Amino acid sequence: MQMTEIFMSGMATMGFFVAGLFFFRFWSRTGERLFVIFGIAFWLLAVNQIFSNASNHPSEELAYVYVLRIIAYLMLIAGIVAKNLEERKPGRA
């Protein structure tokens, strides 16, 4: 990998980690389950980025690295769907 690719990959990893921290901070203020799900999902994306960069192989050859990414995306989708279904319950103010 070139130094530019390593730097940009590190920036993406840091961005995922910081986004997770923001969502955990929002969760501590509001208690919304959606923020916990988003925080965990973004930390999984950060771990995925670390694993894919730690290997010396191109990421296309490492199918197992994509499992964390799939889990994170499914968590994001499930969190959004759960929040929308929660708001549609009758009797909520």
Q: Which helix (H) or strand (E) holds 80?
A: helix 65-87
Show the domain range for 57: 3-87
Q: Return the structure tokens found at 24.
A: 């955990």
Q: What distance in Å separates the CA atoms of residue 66 and residue 28, rounded to the nearest whole number?
A: 30
pLDDT per residue as tens digits for the range 38-90:
999 999 999 988 888 777 666 566 677 788 899 999 999 999 999 999 877 77
Q: What does the pLDDT read at residue 87?
A: 76
- Total structural domains within the chain: 1
Residues 6+ apart with CB under 8 A from 12: 49
Does a structural domain hold residue 92? Answer: no
Asked if the model's pLDDT at residue 93 lies above 60, the reply is no
pLDDT at 6 over 90: no
Non-local (6+) Cβ contacts of 61 within 8 A are: none
pTM of the model: 0.83
